[in-house]
Amino acid sequence: MKPHTPFTLRQFAKAQRESSMPEPNGKLLRALDDFGRERLSKHFFMRDFLYSEVSAAHGIPNVPCNAKLAIKAGTGLCENLLEPLRSIFGHVVIRSAFRSAVVNGYCNKHKMGCASNKANFAKHIWDHRDVKRRIGATACIFIPGFIDSDLYNEKEDWRRLAWFIHDKLPYSRMVFFSKNAAFNLTWHDRAPERYISKKFRPAPLVLTKPGMDNHEGDHSEHYPGFPSYP
């Protein structure tokens, strides 16, 4: 934990205590409670995907405008990608996932690392279809069972996990980050992109995409020792 973190959080908590809080909105609270209890798959509920630092820090409720579409997209993500990963590696940590268009728009406007709303439709913004009319959802995750194993620790090679998922699961896009092999994992209901990239140097930043020589075929030589999966 960075030295300034406890002080900053304590300051914020003090300011919250001293501010006038809004009146309770029981109707919204009950609706959000029902929404959070929606079961997306065997091990995942909608509440697992609703936390946002931007939302928490700036008082912007992370509320969908189309709850049914968000649930449908989240169900596709969980059943097709997160549940298989959990069955193979164990616990899957959700770092961030669903963002309302309002939260994402605020984040983008203030240059907090979010893409535009249009670019995030059917990705982090689960409750909007994208320009191709696809339903989709993204979650930023990491997998402790992978990063704590010799499969990763030997060389800290995130590409092993990327190629394994590429060969085994119906993902649409993966974007890897520099720490703990964390990555954005996207599912789409049709026309998956099957595109893998990373957000850190050195180049190349794209591992594979349709049309590249390495895209098709079997890549098991890149992930020796991984668990078997149909």
- Closest CA relative to residue 224, chosen from 160, 146, 142, 132: 160
pLDDT tens digits, one per residue of 81-119:
999 999 999 999 999 999 999 999 999 999 999 999 999
Q: Confidence class of residue 146 from pLDDT cuts 50, 70 and 90?
A: very high
What is the residue extent of each domain of the chain? 26-222
The CB-side HSE value for 212 (13 A sphere, CA atoms) comes to: 13
Q: How far is residue 99 from each of residues 34, 114, 175, measured CA to CA in Å?
A: 18, 10, 17
Percent of the chain with pLDDT over 70: 100
Q: State the DSSP string of 41-64.
A: SSS-BGGGG---HHHHHHT-----
Query: What residues are paired with 96 via a beta bridge?
Result: 140
The pTM assigned to this predicted structure is: 0.94
- Strand, helix or coil at 140? strand
